[in-house]
Structure 1
Amino acid sequence: MNIIVLAIVSVAVIALVCSVMLVIASNVMAVKEDPLFPAVRECLPGANCGACGYAGCDGYAKALAAGTDKRTTLCVPGGADCAQALAGVLGLEAGAVEKRVAIVFCGGDCTRTEARMDYQGAHSCAAAKLLFGGAGACAFGCLGNGDCVAVCPENAITIDKGVAVVNRDLCIGCGLCERSCPNHVIGVRPMSQKVFDRCSNPNRGKAVMDVCKAGCIGCTKCSKVCPEGAITMDHSLAQVNPTKCTACGTCVASCPTHCMSFAEPGMAPAPAKAERAEEKSAAAQ
């Protein structure tokens, strides 16, 4: 009996000593938190997407609280409201925040291109990419297995006819889909960009048409007819400058493969405006 009591007392003493040591260590070795951090962190949406350039919302909040970064406009999902809240807490000017959304640079759905193999592996774009570049005839197009769908925190992406489609009203521009796409056919762009080249194939002419009827053939017609000089060519693909583009639709109407597209569904070239733009372009030449 005395042995049992002695064992219990010994364990209790050891536990008490360890507790005292832990309390002392927690006080001596504790890392003091910046008092601003909780208030700053509360302003952030908690998406932890990394679009701000930091490792999640905590990283961005710590940089702001410490004063090592004074940019309150880096949170893309939070937008202008978040920037205003951060500025209020930190005593800074909010600055302008432009909404950004994801765009799919591929129009090669199952009606425009074909599969070159019967892929039966894991339902993952990353896995399919490892198998000879994917099952599609175009090795640069959307793989259609939905890795972007899986990571989207707002359920803003669906797969339609084998190609990812983004709901611009739901998209918060976090960029998780962009980073998850092994073929890099998704990009986050300013909401103001109304026209873009819906193709990611860097080849030209016949090499593109052999694998996809909706691909960009690098004919440069869009860049030549644009009345604002908003389009340049980069490796046979059209690049649209959103600050110059007026969304007149001249490039969309003139594109022989219809890969130049409006970013928002339902938009169409305004005939009268497009005609005036073509006349202006012809006069300039």
Structure 2
Amino acid sequence: MEQVFNFNDELSGKIALVTGGTKGTGKAIAERLSNAGAIVIITARNVPKETNKKLHFISADLCKPSETQKVVSEVLGKFGRVDILVNNLGGSETQSGGFAVLSDQDWEQTIQTNLLAPVRLDRGFLPQMIKRRSGVIIHIASIQGKLPLHNSTLPYAAAKAGLINYSKGLSKEVSPKGVRVLTVSPGWIMTTSATRMTERIAESSNTTIEQATQSIMEALGGIPIGRPAHPEDVAELVGFLVSPRANYLTGTEFTIDGGTIPTI
């Protein structure tokens, strides 16, 4: 039987939660899902400077178990369910300098943010998905899960590698129960933070923004497509993966890096 999809309103009636949804890639994902008709809830520690009335905001520090439970209780209490969970929250705040400069606190904080926060949210929302035999979970990982930058973001790379492995294992358990689990691993994304970093490099090295961008791409081993990703590039992939058009996809990692990873 041929399926007919309405691409403009294909998520109508769906409830979606996007963590870290106030800026960068998370914001682009939240807006993409909202534009497809979903009711979208976003979380972040701080209230966004620019508010989108279509997005429901919950302030939470998901590195803390109590804050995670607050989000689960508030979302289920107000909306009754979550159909789409996008674990986008992530990042690295560790200093450069290799293993010797990293403390236990650096490791623990990074793992809390990039691995344990998604694990706790999954645990909170999966029971109602399984009960309804319906739901999609997306874990936003990174190509650093396979291509670690040891000098600057080793804990982040290790946490994302753990997230990729966990996501695969979880999919094996819950896909037979009606819940799809997928991983999206972006390369370098030109977010506002990445733009500021590029500007700092250009200023410190007395080069242009274009030259600084090229130097970063070279440090990554090159981006064959010739540019970093835009947040909307990743959002479009996520929009497809959570849609009915992708209903046979689960347990898979989708790399979106412009060809950066040098191996198959």
Provide TM-score, normalisation by structure 1.
Answer: 0.28
Larger helix fraction of residues: 2
Rg larger in 1 or in 2? 1
TM-score (norm 2): 0.30
